[in-house]
Structures are given as structure tokens and as C-alpha cells.
Structure 1
């Protein structure tokens, strides 16, 4: 491809009042309306700012279209956007609105986000077969910040200065994950701080979204504590948590008979974080295990320990004081009460890494920045980003099975940021989109799902 030979005759003017750059926002906001987003804001959000029922959808719409800062919300005010949407607000107005939030208002927004997700699950094929098997993953991520104006910024486990976002996602074997709960925390916080409370809220929302009896909570070793696992048990969920290699776990592993190890080959190699290389072959075994033995008898948890071991590349580089068993092999233990077989439970636990794709999607979209110096405003921004993420995922599910598993950036590029010209005739609006758009059938399917044909009189 190259520039036209008639390039000398080309000129450009920003003068068309009927063009919009994101025609896909129309069906997405219709979907948000069908879930009662604006009505829920009016009912549940008591922030002292007028027209919150217009400002919250405006912020969500901007994020769906790709805005990652308050200034980017200006993309809602171009061309014919005011003909296609009501209640468009200036970025300065939306920024002032966010700065009105307190912690209590953010919790109200959490409740609102949960109800919107429940509505999406009821109206779209967002979580197929959730009544048979569903996974709830919990993890945190650091969003780097710069300068000295961000409240709560600090250095955490990653040695990066920023704020800590705790997320819980819900998925099924046939569905990509959606964000079911979120919480912004100080950058220097411990990963597990507040995780039990967030997990309890997320499990309640998961049940409202249609998750059945077999709901498995997955987490890494940062969440291997009694409070988190007990929260899962109280809610009737199963758990699968990476166990820290403490003395009790090491003693339990040392009791495994050599004949109990089962060889396993991974078709897709597994990345070993500790030794920084891919692992294709390993051995797996399981034993009964009682966790948190130093606590009272009522707080101890009995389940099983599934252990994967791989040979060390360099057996000489082993911490002092470890036995010959640990010098030869690296061990990775999972504490779980999953009803699945040993190999299936181990494979399902490794799939916990799916939450990293959600972290990446957020950081390539609305969470590219935390736009305010106010901690509460940034907390609200995170919750709104989660709503936008779930709306985008639901739109992909309505468009095509392929888009149901695509990344947020791909859905945005294929279905949201589609240029359109607005025409009006007989009090009806028609959108004229580019001819031969590669994903026009998927876009049309999304549009038709939100605009059913009128019934005959």
C-alpha cells in the first residue's frame, strides 16, 4: 500500500457534523441501558453531584471507546455524538464528579457494578454452563504511578511505586473471564489484605450470575491463609490455592512415597517462575493435609495437597539446610478440596493464570493511567473500568463466538471504534458504516441483538 498518486490534490477539513468515530458505542450503551445502568445509579449512588445518572454512563462509554484518562473523555464530544447520545458531558465536569467520591460512594458503585454484571449474565451468553462448573480467580496487580500527587502510592512487593488493584474474575471452561469484584488499595499493601472480604462479596455475586454448586476459588500463594480459604468454604465454594513452602508443607511432601509419583507431560510447556525456564515434563502426587495446624482445632482446614515436582537444572544451587529430596527437585504444592481427579485438579489450578490476561486488558485500556490525585476518585475509576470491561466482553459475546474470547483491544478495534455517518429520515436515525468492513457481519449481529425488528401491528 502507498499514498495515492493524486496526493497533491488531497486536502483535509474537520467540518462534518454527522460523522462519529465509534459507531459501535450505540449498541453497547443500549446493552448498558437494558441492564438498568442509569436507573441503578439513581437508586444507589448518593454522591453529591447532579445528574450522576448521566455522568456514570458517560465515563463508562468513554472507557469502552478507549479513553484512559479524564482528558480522553473529550472523544465523546465530536461530530454527531450529541445526535446519537444524550447527556454527553465535558471532561472537566466528569473529573469534578469523580473527585466528589468518598469510600462509601465507591462501595455503592461496587454494588451497582455487581448488579450490572448480573444483568449482563442474564441478557447475554456471557457465562455459558456456569451452573455446571465455574472458576473464581483472585489476584492483585500494581498500576505504576509517577510523581508525588497520588494519594496512597507506595512501593509494594514488585518494587514499583504505584497503587494496588485487587481483582476477582469469574469464568467457565467455555467462557472468557469477567470482573466480578475490584478494590483499589495502597501501593505498599500486603496482597491478601482485604481479600477475604472481597472474596465473600464476589462469591455472592457469582451465585447471582448463575454459578452452580461447583464453584472453585483459585489463587496463588499470596492468598494461602486461613481467612481467605474459610471465606470460600462459608460460601459453599471449593478452593484451589497454591501452598507456601513452609515447614509443615515440606514435612508433608517428604512423606510421599516414591511410587506415588505419576509422570505428566504438558502439551503446552509450563513456565517455571523460580528457575525462569519452560517445563514440559513433571511428576505429580497427592496426600491428605491439614493446613494452619498452629491455630485452634476449629480453624484448621483439612483437604489434600497436590504436589508437582520437576528436576532442578542446577542441583548445587539449593538453599542451605534442605534435604536431598529438595536438592534434586523443585516442588509446587496446591492445597485444594476440588472433587476432580488429581491430574484434572492440577491442570485446572494452572489455568488460574487466565486472570493475568484481564490485568493486561485493563492496563492496555482504561487502567493505563489512574487519572486523579484523589485515592477515592481513582477507586471509582477502577470500578468504572471493570463495568466497561464487562460491557465490552458482553458485546463480544453477542457479536460472535470468536469475539467472545477476544481481548478487549480487539473487540474495541473490530466492533466499537467503527466510523459511521449519521443520517436522519422520517424521525429515524440510520448509521452508514464503511463498505466491506471486515467484521461487518459480527457488528450487525451485535446491533440486531439490541435492536430487534418491530413487531407487526
Structure 2
């Protein structure tokens, strides 16, 4: 591929007053209006009047900018170009949106949480966002550090990763046939440990998951940082099940050591995975389970009895293989234990727990989009930004679910590139606005499916 007419001089001018760069925002904001985004924000947010006037319009603008790829306040300028004013109202300046976010107190962030929970429930009811949620669904919980730089960020600090930043706690809901959606978030100080505030977040996430239609088997999956009595008790009160990586404490090691050799079942992964700790590719393992009582040290009242499913992998590193006095070699094993009350069979429960890694894709998508930065020096403004990023993520996922089966599972970056950031020119004719889009756009059918589902069949274009 090369430039055509290289012998001719080229010129460029920014003088097309009708062109827009993100034509996909039209059906996406139509979907947001059907789900009640602006109305919900107006109803629940009580930001002071001088900064919070037209709160619903400002929330919608911030979410729309994030859907289109904005990852900073200044990026919200992409909503104020060309013909955007012909398609949308309430196009606030970035400075206005920044002032709005900086006026948030902690209570306002929690109000925005309520808006986000109701929005995802509405999207789940109106789109095929969570197919089969009534049979089985998974709630994955994890946290991540969003690195920050300089000294102006409130709450920034060094956490378990050794990276200076702020800590985002995220809960995502999915089914075996769906990509995950975010049902709860919480921004915490950078020095917070993973489990801080997790009990409250899990309770909120479980409640939202039920409202989203996850009324059948609901399994909460988490890593060892969330292995605690309070989290497990919260899951039990919600009549959900847990599948949590168990920390290798004395009780867990004792239970593993007591497993008989003939109790292990060999499994082979369909695709080999690389084990960072062993420094090797792993293609098979052995699995066994034993009854296990956790948290017994806190007394009988707090003890929880369930299953301990253990996966062991042969350590092929010669430095880890031991021998006895006669020089006979004994295999070295690495154990990974999961504490669960899942009703699924052992091998299925163990395989399901490994799919907890799906939460990493959610985190990667956020960091590849609106969470590329935490744009404010104020902690609560960044907390609100995280909630808005979750709403933009869910709205993008819902748009993908309406567009095609491929886009229902695609990353948000792919949906943004193929369905949102489509150049368009609005043309007014016979009291109607027609969008003129590129000929031979590779994803035309998916875009039209999204448009039809969100706004109804497009009117016939006039020449």
C-alpha cells in the first residue's frame, strides 16, 4: 500500500463542519437513553448545584467520551468537533466536566455506584448481554494497581506490587457463553491490601448480579488474597457458592499431605500453559479433593466446611528434584488448592476455577481504554472516573452483544475500532437526519444491527 498520485502535491484542511469521527456513538447513546443513563444520574446524584447542574447530561457526556476512546479530561474535546452538535445536545467543555468530577465527595461516588448498578441491570434486561445467566453465572473479583506519577495524586502509595499508584477493586459477572460485565468497583488507596473493603464490594456485586438475572447457580471466584471468613460468609448469606484459592497455611498443607497417592486423577490441558513459577510449559496435572474445614482457628462459630480441590503439577526443574540416601529420585510437586462449595464435579469445578483469569481481560480492557490514566489529583474524582469507566465498559459490551456474535465476545478496543469510531456525515433532509457512512465498511452489517436494535430500522437515505 502506498500513496496515490505521488507526483501531485497534497494538502489538508480541517474545514468539514458536518463530519463526525465517531458515528457509532449515535446508536450507543440511543441504547444508553433506553437504559435510562441520564435519568438515573439526575435522580441519584446530589452534587452541589453550582457544579452539579445537569448532572445526568454531564455523566452521559463523560461515558460517551470514554466509549469513543477518551482516557483523560482533555480527551473529552473529541465530543465537540464537526457535526457532533447536529447529533447531540449537552456537549459540555472538558473544563466543565473536570469541575464536575472534582466536586464529588465520597457519598457522591457511592451514588454514582448506584447509577452504575441500575444501568448494567437495565442493559442486561434489554440486550443479550448475559445469556443463560438464569442457569449458571460466575462472579470474579480481583484488584489491580493503576500506576500514578508525581506527588499530586491523593491516596497514591506503594502496595503489594511495589508500584506507586491507586488500587482498583473490580467485580465482573459472566456466563459460559458471554464476555464479562462489571457489576461493582471501588477505588482504594495505593497502599491498601487486596482484601480491604472486599466484603462490602462482594455484597454489592452479588446483589447487582441477582438483579441482572443471575438467579440460578452463582459462583464467586477469587484468588488467595480474598480467602477469608468474612468474604465466604457474605457469599453464603447471598445463597451463592464460592471458589477461592486457598492460602498455603499449615492446615491446608496438612490436608494436602494427607491425600492418598491413589486419590489423584490425571488431567491434560487442551492447550499447554506457561507456569512462571516453574519456568516451564505445563500440559498435564493431577487433581484430588478432600473435605476441609477452614478458619477453624477462629472458633467453631466461624469454621466453614467444604471441599479442598488440589491440583498438583510435576516440577521438572532438576534443581528441585530430591533424592534419598540411596540416590533414588523422588518427584517434586507444586500444589494449587481451591476451597469451594461448588456443586459441580471435581474436574469441572477445578477447570471452572481456572477460568477466573477472565477478570484479567476486563482489567486489560479498562487499562487499554478509560483507565489508561486516573486524570485528577483528587481521590474522589478518580473514584468517580473508575465508576464511569465501568459504565462505559458495560455500554460498549452491550453494543457489541447487539451487533453480532463476534462482537459479543470481542475486546472493547475491537468494538471501539469497528463499531464506534466510524466516520459519518449527518445530512438533514425532509425533517430527518441521515448518517452517510463509508462505502464498503467491513463491519457494515454489524453496525446496522446495532443501529436497528438501539434506534429502530434506519430510514431510507435520499440521494
Q: In 2 relative to 1, CA 454–75 (structure 1 residues): closer, same or farther, beyond 3 Å?
A: closer
- What secondary structure does 1:193 align onto? coil
For residue 218 of structure 2, what is the aligned residue in structure 1? 215
C-alpha distance in structure 1 between counterparts of 2:69 and 2:417, whole Å: 9
For residue 189 of structure 2, what is the aligned residue in structure 1? 186
For residue 110 of structure 1, what is the aligned residue in structure 2? 113
- Whether the 8 Å CA contact 2:227–2:247 is kept in 1: the answer is yes
For residue 406 of structure 2, what is the aligned residue in structure 1? 402
For residue 367 of structure 2, what is the aligned residue in structure 1? 363
User: Of the candidates 339, 343, 354, which is equivalent to residue 343 of structure 2?
Assistant: 339
Q: Deviations over 1:287-325 (max 9, x none)?
A: 000001101212111000000001122364499xxxx99
Deviation at 1:276, TM superposition (A): 3.3
User: Of the candidates 408, 424, 430, which is equivalent to residue 426 of structure 1?
Assistant: 430
- Whether the 8 Å CA contact 2:155–2:188 is kept in 1: the answer is yes
Question: Structure 1: 5+ residue runs without aligned partners?
Answer: none
- What secondary structure does 2:180 align onto? strand
Q: In 2 relative to 1, CA 284–425 (structure 1 residues): closer, same or farther, beyond 3 Å?
A: same
C-alpha distance in structure 1 between counterparts of 2:293 and 2:329, whole Å: 22
C-alpha distance in structure 2 between counterparts of 1:318 and 1:72, whole Å: 55
- What secondary structure does 1:297 align onto? coil
C-alpha distance in structure 1 between counterparts of 2:329 and 2:67, whole Å: 52
C-alpha distance in structure 1 between counterparts of 2:182 and 2:279, whole Å: 29
C-alpha distance in structure 2 between counterparts of 1:224 and 1:325, whole Å: 35
For residue 248 of structure 2, what is the aligned residue in structure 1? 245
- Whether the 8 Å CA contact 2:169–2:188 is kept in 1: the answer is yes
- What secondary structure does 1:294 align onto? helix
Residue-pair matches, total: 451
For residue 325 of structure 2, what is the aligned residue in structure 1? none
User: Of the candidates 276, 294, 303, which is equivalent to residue 297 of structure 2?
Assistant: 294
TM-score (norm 2): 0.95
Structure 2 residue 388 is matched with structure 1 residue 384? yes
Structure 2 residue 439 is matched with structure 1 residue 439? no
C-alpha distance in structure 1 between counterparts of 2:385 and 2:293, whole Å: 41
**Any residues of structure 2 matched to 1:104-253 within 5 Å, and which?**
104-253=107-256
- Whether the 8 Å CA contact 1:271–1:278 is kept in 2: the answer is yes
- Whether the 8 Å CA contact 1:316–1:327 is kept in 2: the answer is no
Deviation at 1:380, TM superposition (A): 0.1
TM-score (norm 1): 0.96
- Whether the 8 Å CA contact 1:114–1:181 is kept in 2: the answer is yes
Q: In 2 relative to 1, CA 191–7 (structure 1 residues): closer, same or farther, beyond 3 Å?
A: farther
Structure 2 residue 88 is matched with structure 1 residue 85? yes
C-alpha distance in structure 2 between counterparts of 1:141 and 1:79, whole Å: 37
- Whether the 8 Å CA contact 2:278–2:317 is kept in 1: the answer is no
C-alpha distance in structure 2 between counterparts of 1:218 and 1:168, whole Å: 10
Q: In 2 relative to 1, CA 325–406 (structure 1 residues): closer, same or farther, beyond 3 Å?
A: farther
- Whether the 8 Å CA contact 1:254–1:325 is kept in 2: the answer is no
Q: In 2 relative to 1, CA 386–431 (structure 1 residues): closer, same or farther, beyond 3 Å?
A: same
Deviation at 1:328, TM superposition (A): 1.5
For residue 8 of structure 2, what is the aligned residue in structure 1? 8
C-alpha distance in structure 1 between counterparts of 2:7 and 2:138, whole Å: 55
Deviation at 1:153, TM superposition (A): 0.5
C-alpha distance in structure 1 between counterparts of 2:7 and 2:147, whole Å: 43
C-alpha distance in structure 2 between counterparts of 1:325 and 1:433, whole Å: 69
For residue 378 of structure 2, what is the aligned residue in structure 1? 374
Structure 2 residue 37 is matched with structure 1 residue 37? yes
